[in-house]
Structure formats: structure tokens, C-alpha cells
């Protein structure tokens, strides 16, 4: 993909194919980067909101499920996450069509947490299960509320896990294609309130035209989509290798 993104298109028609070109160009990559700028902004804004919504909802729900042993609710979240993406699209589309939210950031921000919250709750549930109950019991003696315990005591202790869940939620939001393809029609017009919400994944598949495939633009667009995922995945792997400090335990 990197080679296709930075080689001239004359190499598309050479026989036999040349794996490592002697000449390189940044024309296709810069064209993909500048042309997809509105889509990149949409992905960034939507991804950040989805990550924040996911970590707050999943962090709260998974903490209650783990401390009260509500396993049936955990099974429901796993079941919802395992369903095909098409399972929810009809009611979501009708809801946003009637409320006038189609082709807006709000449609993606509200719809995408269906996948990220369920996965995040599943992951954080196991983290909270390994967390010693002494933290909660000591604060409850002082008469602290459940909200205070979660956000002032538990969340700081498990902040590495919350950070990991935020990154995973952002990655899932960044690479989604089906929902943006159905719920959006045009790129963002750099206006506010924002109209248009196509993402970089839609921009990438537009390089596949009816008559021919622009391989340089396709590879460059795919590289624009893949780079943030690669960087964030590298960060996650680094944190996993270091080990998460959770209440003095290595998780």
C-alpha cells in the first residue's frame, strides 16, 4: 500500500511488474490528504465524541455490573456487540430521517456508540472484577456516594484502562464504513451548524471508479485511513507491554 501510494502511475502498466520502483512521487498522497481534509475533520470530531461517550457510559455500566454481579446484563452487551451492523440500521435511519439528523455529525455521534459502548463495557467489566473491593469499602464508610466513588476513586486508579478504551473506541469509529455510507451523503462543508458528514473511508472507496481504478489515489487514501489506526495501535501495544497499574496489580 505504501509503495502504491508513492510510485508514479507508469508502473501500473509495466510487464513484468516492478516491486520496488526507482522513482517516487508524493503527488497522489498529497492529493488524497488535501482532498480528504473535510472528511478527516469529520472523523476527528466524531471519533473524539464517540470515545468520550463510550468511556463514560461503559465505565459506569461495567462498574455497576461487576460490583453487583449482574452477569445477565454483561451477556446482553456481548450479544449486542456480536450482532451484524445491519441489525440496527433500519430503526436508526428512520429515527434520524424523522428528526432531520441525516448527513450530520450528530447522526454518527449517536449511532456509532452502539458498537463502542458494548465492547468497552465488556473490557472494563474484567478490569473492575480484578480491582480489590477495599477501595470501595473504605470510601463507603465515610458516606461517599456511588458517583463520587466511581469518578473520584475508581476512575483515577483505572485511568490506564479508561485511556485504552477511549483509543479503541476512536479506532472503531475511525474505520467504520457501513453507517457513514448509509447516514451521510456529502462531505462537511466547513460550516456551522455542520452539514455533510462523509468520512475518510467513504473518500477512499470513491477512488474505485466504474471504468478504472486509480491505484495511486486508492492506496494514498487507504494510507490516510490506516496511519492513525497504526499509530494508536502502536500506543496501545506499548501500554500493554508495559503493563497497566491497577491498584498495585499488573493487568
Q: Domains of the chain by range and CATH? A: 2-11+23-250 (1.10.3720.10)
- The secondary structure of 163-181 as a DSSP string is HHHHHHHHHHHHH--HHHH
Q: Is the peptide bond before 48 cis (omega within 30 degrees of 0)?
A: no
List residues bridging with 245 in a β-sheet.
250
Range with lowest mean pLDDT among 89-93, 225-229, 233-237, 245-249: 245-249
**For the chain, what is the mean pLDDT?**
85
Helix, strand, coil proportions of the chain in percent (round to 5)?
70, 0, 25
pLDDT per residue over 7-31, tens digit each? 888 887 788 888 888 888 998 889 8
> What is the band of 247 on the pLDDT scale with cuts at 50, 70, 90?
very low
User: CA 74, CA 72: separation in Å to the nearest integer?
Assistant: 5
Does the predicted model carry a pTM greater than 0.75? yes
Q: How many CB atoms lie within 10 A of CB 140?
A: 13
- Apex CA 148: angle with CA 143 and CA 152, to 5°? 125
Which residues are CB-neighbours of 42 under 8 A, at least 6 positions away?
105, 108, 187, 188, 196, 197, 198, 199
Q: Supply the pLDDT for residue 49.
A: 96
Is 86 a residue whose pLDDT tops 90?
Answer: no
> What is the band of 100 on the pLDDT scale with cuts at 50, 70, 90?
very high
DSSP type of residue 192? S
Q: Supply the pLDDT for residue 242.
A: 61
Phi, psi of 101 (to 5 degrees): -100, 0
- Calculate what percentage of the chain has a pLDDT beyond 70: 92
Q: How many CB atoms lie within 10 A of CB 130?
A: 12
Amino acid at each position: 500500500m505504501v509503495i502504491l501510494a508513492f510510485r508514479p502511475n507508469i508502473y501500473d502498466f509495466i510487464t513484468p511488474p516492478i516491486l520496488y520502483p526507482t522513482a517516487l512521487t508524493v503527488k497522489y498522497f498529497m492529493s488524497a490528504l488535501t482532498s480528504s481534509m473535510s472528511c478527516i475533520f469529520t472523523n476527528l470530531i466524531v471519533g473524539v465524541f464517540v470515545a468520550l461517550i463510550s468511556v463514560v457510559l461503559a465505565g459506569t455500566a461495567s462498574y455497576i455490573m461487576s460490583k453487583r454481579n449482574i452477569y445477565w446484563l454483561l451477556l446482553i452487551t456481548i450479544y449486542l456487540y456480536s450482532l451484524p451492523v445491519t441489525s440496527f440500521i433500519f430503526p436508526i435511519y428512520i429515527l434520524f430521517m424523522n428528526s432531520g439528523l441525516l448527513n450530520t455529525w450528530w447522526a454518527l455521534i449517536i449511532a456509532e456508540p452502539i458498537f463502542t459502548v458494548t465492547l468497552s463495557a465488556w473490557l472494563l467489566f474484567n478490569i473492575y472484577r480484578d480491582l480489590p473491593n477495599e477501595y470501595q469499602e473504605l470510601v463507603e464508610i465515610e458516606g461517599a456516594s456511588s458517583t463520587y466513588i466511581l469518578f473520584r476513586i475508581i476512575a483515577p486508579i483505572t485511568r490506564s484502562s479508561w485511556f485504552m478504551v477511549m483509543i479503541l473506541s476512536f479506532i472503531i469509529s475511525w474505520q467504520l464504513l457501513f453507517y457513514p455510507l448509509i447516514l451521510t451523503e456529502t462531505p462537511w462543508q466547513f460550516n456551522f451548524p455542520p452539514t455533510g458528514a462523509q468520512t475518510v473511508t467513504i473518500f477512499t472507496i470513491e477512488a474505485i471508479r466504474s471504468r478504472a481504478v486509480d491505484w495511486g489515489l486508492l492506496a494514498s487514501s487507504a494510507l490516510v485511513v490506516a496511519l492513525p489506526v497504526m499509530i494508536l495501535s502502536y500506543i496501545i501495544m506499548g501500554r500493554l507491554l508495559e503493563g497497566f497499574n491497577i491498584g498495585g496489580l499488573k493487568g
